[in-house]
Amino acid sequence: MSHQATNWAFQQRGLEAATWRVLVMLADRHNPDFGCFPSQNQIASDAEMSRSSLNVHLEKLERAGLIRRERRIDPDTRKQRSTRYVLAFEAEFDCKPCPDAGHGNEADDPMKSSAKSPGAVSRSRVQNLDTNPVSIEPVITTARELDTAADLPDPQTRCLDAGGPGLCPASRAAITATADVIDGWLRDGLDLEADVLPTITRRRVQIRISPIRTWAYFTEAVHAAKQARLRREADPRITAQHRFYADWINSDRYLPPNAVTNTMAWALLGFELVTADRLAARGVPVPADTGGAP
């Protein structure tokens, strides 16, 4: 995965949800050193669509100026190799493709194409997408400032923010004197983003008769959250795609409508990678019954 590629993909606007999802899947498969070479079967599986539908969305991305497809031929065997997908943020995107460039992972062999007619254009065996091309203006990328660690408030301030209105004024007045408890959590290897803040956010909704006066009130819960996270990380059923969508949903990054399928939402709930409340807050329909989830 290339963080530069995924950050760039997340910033694109004006695309249909399914087209945007294909772009994000391509970015997720991008390697910063070698580029993007997934098979069509792999992208279709990642995006949860048929290869025929995939080609429609790849064509839309190409006409929008967001990707370029370059067919590659093995120089020795003359057999088709996986297509390279050049993304618009890459430096070589504006360079002209090599003479062997073409569309689609399943394009015809160039020798066969030339035998049909001297100027024949290689076509995908899945679907002909180059008929009557339409000029579409490139999608404008909206620049967004990304937070850095230096710009973030100190851990206690972030914990107080996570507590929100669930921490009454009396709690805040007392709890700030126990900041050393948070420092102890971090020394013990707890992750502020993954373990501490989500736990405080969940626990703050509990009704209490007396105010919370120390961060130690959350100690048992944040340690339990860490252990649950480690179990999820070791679960072989949880794929990189599950983690990708979970990170996306649990973040504040833009999430288009219908970007998350019901199947994916169901799996994420079953693996406890997201909560139903978080899905609802992000506009993702919550499956009515997760009894069959993993």
pTM tops 0.75? no
Question: Mean pLDDT, to the nearest integer, of 70-75?
Answer: 82
The size of the chain, in residues, is: 294
Q: How many angstroms separate the CA atoms of 92 and 159, rounded?
A: 44
Note the CATH number of domain 3-116.
1.10.10.10
Counting Cβ atoms within 10 Å, is residue 191 exposed (0-12), middle (13-18) or buried (19+)? middle
pLDDT above 90: residue 157: yes
The count of other CB atoms within 10 Å of the CB of residue 1 is 13
Q: How many angstroms separate the CA atoms of 83 and 95, rounded?
A: 17
Helix (H), strand (E) at residue 70 = strand 67-73
Percent pLDDT > 70 in the chain is: 75
Decide: helix, strand or coil at residue 83: strand
Q: How many angstroms separate the CA atoms of 259 and 265, rounded?
A: 10
Give the distance from CA 81 to its chain's centroid. Answer: 27
pLDDT by residue (tens digit) across 12-59?
A: 888 888 888 899 889 888 888 888 988 888 888 888 888 888 889 999
Residues 6+ apart with CB under 8 A from 191: 226, 229
Q: How many angstroms separate the CA atoms of 259 and 54, rounded?
A: 15
pLDDT above 70: residue 69: yes
What's phi and psi for 138, nearest 5 deg?
-60, 145
146 vs 53, higher pLDDT: 53
| The pLDDT value given to residue 289 | 60
pLDDT above 50: residue 143: no
Both structure tokens of 199: 């736990």
| The pLDDT value given to residue 256 | 83
Question: Is residue 141 within 8 Å of 12, Cβ to Cβ?
Answer: yes
Question: Mean pLDDT, to the nearest integer, of 242-267?
Answer: 85
Counting Cβ atoms within 10 Å, is residue 71 exposed (0-12), middle (13-18) or buried (19+)? buried
| CATH 1.10.10.10, the chain: domain bounds | 3-116
When mean pLDDT is compared over 27-31, 144-148, 206-210, the highest value belongs to: 27-31
pLDDT band at 96 (very low <50, low <70, confident <90, very high): low
The mean pLDDT of the chain is 77
